[in-house]
Amino acid sequence: MNLTSNSGILMNIAIMIIAIIFPFYGHWLFVIVPVFNFLFRMVNDRNQEEEVYAATRSIGVPYLKEG
């Protein structure tokens, strides 16, 4: 299991607890947090692609690019 799915589950549990304790603020978290999560995931994917590209360039093994 990778880190993003794990942290996503923990984030959802935290949002749920906050939504139960503070109903007025909690429902806004369900709107705001997925937007930040999407942006974070986009940046993270781009960094991973650059790392894979750097690895293939430095090692010179093209099969690392798969997946």
Q: What is the pLDDT of residues 29-64, one digit of tens each?
A: 777 777 777 777 777 777 666 666 666 555 555 555
Supply the pTM of this predicted model: 0.37
Domains in the chain: boundaries:
3-65
Q: Which residue type, as a one-letter code, is found at position 44? A: N
Q: b vs e for 30-51, b when ≥16 Cβ sit within 10 Å of the residue's Cβ?
A: eeebeeeeeeeeeeeeeeeeee
Q: What's the maximum distance between 2 C-alpha atoms anywhere in the chain?
A: 54
Which helix or strand (DSSP H or E) is residue 64 part of?
A: none
Please tell me the predicted confidence (pLDDT) of residue 1.
45
pLDDT above 60 for 6: yes
pLDDT above 60 for 15: yes
Residue 46 near residue 9 (C-beta atoms within 8 A): no
